[in-house]
Structure 1
């Protein structure tokens, strides 16, 4: 299985920490110290999870002429902030590409949806039911977020990314998706209440941030080390680690546990905030043009509900 291209879409509007200082009295320095966030993007009027998914898809095809749009035979989208729970982001992307009667799947496994979506593609490919797929991850966090929540209201940003994946190699520059490992730790600790989004209640809330921090550090480091060991990759030989963009302190902790050079970690949370399941994919898009032959990349994720995973990519 091969990753041919990845592209991102970010809304134009930028919300700095000064907004939350005015709103809640949260100091810029305090937000940066606790989260690493300096600013985040906010979807504009008329934008939502579906429109951002389409924009990311459009950007991916525009940059990858070898991956013909009319050859797509599978669409998988991930989001926990849907614009429409019936006409989902996957349906919106399918309608945009104009291909009828192909499998079209939307999922939500919190911030780990990216890797679960890739696994779904892996399954369709293995069963011979598809050969070329689009995976789209998109989050419209600000549609659900309560900005006045001083515990988590300042964390969230909006954005999307699209991955073009094929069963057979299309180009010598394709990345090999060597392995994807995912799991769920819902029985652990406060997984059932640490991060929740109940649209009929208060939107996104995170009453147990410390528990999320501890479990994210544990599981992201563990699953990453599993991939390194299984594929006989020494830590210094890992070109990039792209962690879920939830908190810069989590990323730094995982890097420290692994003994990885901090310069190898890809982070965008300082500029984008927590963009949910799109964050790591956006990070991959940001380094895409820097990748060269022999590079090894691991994407590792962790989400509310305590789902987690890691994916090894070889150039």
Structure 2
């Protein structure tokens, strides 16, 4: 059978770092308050004139370099983002052009913080069907542009960044020992729209709007949904939590990461944590954390890596990947 294998990763963070102390000078909060409730110490903020496509392009180029290929080898680009440069065309086509590509297929996926898992699943389906050979999957966000910087409940949580992976279709045996994406599961439930959303849009207010969230309720759903979909995904792959070498979670809140690990019976030393440095970068958070763990040598050949995320919608999902 055909497996979609990750052959390269890359990431990019804007140069400007915004610390908790700097935020405390702008809103009624403190470094101690933010760390205690979220684990976040800083976040990166895109510069004026630095767009989501710029962040995504930088991450994509690093992923291509890591894979040892060029953009001419890619025939599919999928970008997960909730903060595209424009309402349309797709951010993916902007990146396609910036890469110098005039071939292939490029489009965006919108599933907020779960966007990268959704995009990865779509790419897996398109590669394993034989329709495409090599895919570039990018999660990129400039959430700083949709934050209410007077709302301490949300502005302290988010940052900007991008992460990317290169996937290539390769022949596997169909067993859990194969390298590549072994299984993925996605879910959504639109009943919870008012718990995490943006209060605007081109089709309603004609404005971009600002992010709004009821944090306590989101936290409760996140821990339950993420533990459930991770268990479900492992079962589909014929694996168990004890088989997992690394979990790459959506970096929303350290307390959510800890709660999810407890539900699965996993030690925190098997959870890759970057939320303290990156904050919540929405669709970029999983590929960002993945690239960090690959480049620092934690993730090694044949390791079983479990990716998971949950975002507005609600949407959530997980993927089991053999490195």
Which TM bucket (shorter chain)? over 0.9
Q: CA deviation at 1:129?
A: 2.1
Give structure 2 stretches of 5+ with no counterpart: 172-177, 202-206
How far, CA to CA, are the matches of 1:201 and 1:93 in structure 2?
22
Q: Flag the 1:229–1:125 CA change in 2: closer, same or farther, 3 A.
A: closer
Q: CA deviation at 1:284?
A: 0.5
1:184 matched residue in structure 2: 188
* TM-score, normalised with respect to structure 2: 0.90
Matched, 1:195 2:196: yes
2:224 matched residue in structure 1: 218
1:237 matched residue in structure 2: 243
Matched, 1:75 2:77: yes
- Paired residues, what number? 307
Q: Is the 8 A contact 1:139 1:276 kept in 2?
A: yes
Match of 1:9 among 9, 12, 27: 12
**Counterpart of 1:47 in 2: which secondary structure?**
coil
1:205 matched residue in structure 2: 212
Give structure 1 stretches of 5+ with no counterpart: none
1:314 matched residue in structure 2: 322
Range moving further from structure 2, 221-230 or 251-260: 221-230
Q: Is the 8 A contact 1:11 1:41 kept in 2?
A: yes
2:204 matched residue in structure 1: none
Q: CA deviation at 1:233?
A: 3.1
Q: CA deviation at 1:232?
A: 4.0
Matched, 1:266 2:261: no
Q: CA deviation at 1:51?
A: 0.7
Q: CA deviation at 1:96?
A: 1.9
Alignment map for 1:84-95 (pairs within 5 Å): 84-95=86-97
How far, CA to CA, are the matches of 2:74 and 2:102 in structure 1?
10
Q: Is the 8 A contact 2:20 2:41 kept in 1?
A: yes
Q: Is the 8 A contact 1:73 1:133 kept in 2?
A: yes
Q: Is the 8 A contact 1:239 1:264 kept in 2?
A: yes
Match of 1:285 among 279, 291, 294: 291
Range moving further from structure 2, 278-287 or 82-91: 82-91
Matched, 1:39 2:42: yes
Alpha-carbon RMSD across the aligned residues, in angstroms, is 1.8
* TM-score, normalised with respect to structure 1: 0.93
